[in-house]
Amino acid sequence: MLMSYPLRELQTAIWAPFLPWLQATASFLAGSGNAASALPTSQLVAGCELLARLCKRYPKPEFGLTDAVVEGQQVAVTETVVLDQPFCRLLHFERATPHRHPVALVVAPLSGHHATLLRDTVAAMLQDFDVYITDWRDARTVSLAEGAFHLDDYVAYLREFLRFVGPDVHVVSVCQSTVPVLAAISLMAAHGETTPRSMTLIGGPIDARRGPTTVNEFAVSKPLDWFAHELIETVPGNYPGAGRQVYPGFLQHAAFVAMNPERHLDSHVRYYCDVAAGNSEAADAHRRFYDEYNAVLDMAAEYYLETVRVVFQEFCLARGTWQVRGEHVRPGAIKATALITVEGERDDICGRGQTHAAHDLCTGLDALLKHRVTARGCGHYGIFSGHAWRTAIYQQLRDLIYQHESHVSNESAADLHTGVLEDVAA
């Protein structure tokens, strides 16, 4: 049986009085000076910390990006809100540097986690780009007075953001966001608008029929009515979005964990052992990861159900049947935006071929404007964060984007193009 919102709130209320005690006990014992040497004490500290972390609520994290190294110099970074819509803010990471760099719009997925999940993505790009990012709001914080939020609205938001940032922008989208990004740019092209210089699609379900994963198989195993009946909840009265129908973040989080339960269990066991042994570096790494991973948001019910239907059940984009506000989405209309797709060899969320499928849809693009990157040994999160992203994938992606920042001859472009088909080792 799936947990309901009232049951989730009851569970939180029950644990609320105990969490400060558990945390205070762990802090007191850890600071007593003998926690590491006294085995029972160290085990009690570890047990209190682990229990508190398993039962507490995780707030939305901060990006915390206050500086970056630009052309060998460390410069200050200021995070500002440049557009504020009911369901999304557009953030700008402004760098205190006189150097002009290409503009990049990072489109975060709206699939359960906050945009801060892409902190590593943004941190790497700040070295070489003037970075903006979509910061999607938790639907339980949005008043009913703001109305509904549909998948079509998501696409409309992106078109507005692209116009605001300007025509010279390079778009980098991750996971779920790749589908509405391709739709937004397709519609702009069909209307004769200037489209971005490049669009990068990282680990997204452009055609979820290819290389189906557990996620894809689950989506087609149930009728849409089942998702509406079993997974949609009403936001309780103690939140600004009271009364709004949502797909709760805690259900999405449970689904994420259920995909790899043994891995998460092992991680928590190792955390307990690291705390008990005084291995602070490993324990801190665990905390950083799960502070982000456990922080989830609610999605508007209409948006979630439309995404399930359009992307994962009817494959509307790949089949050419998707209409956004009455207009057909035709990727073939894109003529001047370079296409870069990135996949992970071991991605268990977006299977092999699902993102690269965009190349078959963008029939209006010259071959010199199309690039594919497949990261060997990488899972889903590894293609936009972590060691492989920082040391291999990002550098190749940066070089590809820079290739389309300024005019190059066809001969030079051909040389660069043939050099990017090699896989990136994790």
Sequence-distant (≥ 6) Cβ neighbours of residue 356 within 8 angstroms? 341, 343, 372, 374
Tell me which of 280, 297, 314 is where a domain ends.
297
- Both 150 and 208 in a single domain? yes
Q: Confirm whether 425 is domain-assigned.
A: no
Predicted pLDDT of residue 407? 42
- Both 285 and 327 in a single domain? no
Q: Confirm whether 374 is domain-assigned.
A: yes
Q: Confirm whether 22 is domain-assigned.
A: yes
Q: What is the CATH number of the domain that holds 392?
A: 3.40.50.1820
Q: Confirm whether 161 is domain-assigned.
A: yes
Tell me which of 297, 329, 355 is where a domain ends.
297
Q: Confirm whether 227 is domain-assigned.
A: no
Closest CA to 369 of 196, 207, 179, 206: 196
Q: Confirm whether 13 is domain-assigned.
A: yes
Predicted pLDDT of residue 156? 98
- Both 279 and 142 in a single domain? no
Q: Confirm whether 35 is domain-assigned.
A: yes
- Both 180 and 325 in a single domain? yes
- Both 278 and 355 in a single domain? no
- Both 319 and 199 in a single domain? yes
- Both 322 and 214 in a single domain? yes
Tokens linked to 425: 């080792």
Instruction: Provide the residue range defining the domain that includes 201.
Output: 67-218+300-407
- Both 271 and 306 in a single domain? no
- Both 275 and 288 in a single domain? yes
Tell me which of 297, 324, 357 is where a domain ends.
297
- Both 87 and 171 in a single domain? yes
Total domains present in the chain: 2
Q: Confirm whether 91 is domain-assigned.
A: yes
- Both 172 and 132 in a single domain? yes
Predicted pLDDT of residue 414? 42
- Both 185 and 310 in a single domain? yes
Per-residue pLDDT of the chain (426 residues; tens, 9 = 90+): 566 887 777 666 766 676 676 677 666 656 555 444 455 667 777 777 777 777 777 789 999 999 999 999 999 999 999 999 999 999 999 999 988 899 999 999 999 999 999 999 999 999 999 999 999 999 999 999 999 999 999 999 999 999 999 999 999 999 999 999 999 999 999 999 999 999 999 999 999 999 999 999 999 999 999 999 999 999 999 999 999 999 998 888 777 777 778 888 888 888 778 778 888 888 888 888 888 888 899 999 999 999 999 999 999 999 999 999 999 999 999 999 999 999 999 999 999 999 999 999 999 999 999 999 999 999 999 999 999 999 999 999 999 999 998 643 343 444 444 333 345 544
